[in-house]
Structure formats: structure tokens, C-alpha cells
Amino acid sequence: MKAKTLDAKLKQIGIGLSELRKRKGYDTIRDFAKAYKLPEIQYWRIENGKTNLTLKSLTKLLKIHKLSLEDFFCKL
């Protein structure tokens, strides 16, 4: 997969996670990360498409939002 394609997909995933966070009532990454005991910088990188997200991390985040991988990707 080309780097530009991967970067675009990571950004798309980050946007989806950002929307979920906001729907949950958290305006800031800091508040969300603190509430769910997540590393704030790492979560910021995920939402901004700046890190290569692992399936394990994505699954953990989706569990917070009570979503399956299938549901999440269908909504993207």
C-alpha cells in the first residue's frame, strides 16, 4: 500500500474516532483521554492520523464507544 493511501486511511479513522468522542460529549481530547485513562499524546496522534494505529488499540477504543470493528468501518 502506498504511503499516501495509508496516511489518508489513518486520517479517515482519526476523523471517525473524533466524531465518536464528540458524540459522547467530550469536546477535548484531554478530557476524553483522562476519563478513559488513555495516554493523551498517543490518543491525539491517533485522532490526527499521525500514528500507525494497531488493531489492538482500535479495538480498545471502539469498546469504549460500544462499537464493533464492522460497525465502525461501515460508518466511515
pLDDT at 1: 59
Per the structure, the complete domain to which residue 8 belongs is given by 3-75
What are the cell numbers at 53? 494505529
The total of other beta-carbon atoms located within 10 Å of residue 26's CB is 17
Domain count, the chain: 1
Q: What is the CATH number of the domain that holds 52?
A: 1.10.260.40
**pLDDT tens across 1-41, in order?**
577 899 999 999 999 999 999 999 999 999 999 999 999 99
Q: What is the pTM of this model?
A: 0.91
Task: Report the distance separating Cα 61 and Cα 38, nearest Å.
Answer: 9
Task: Report the distance separating Cα 26 and Cα 67, nearest Å.
Answer: 17
**pLDDT tens across 48-65, in order?**
999 999 999 999 999 999
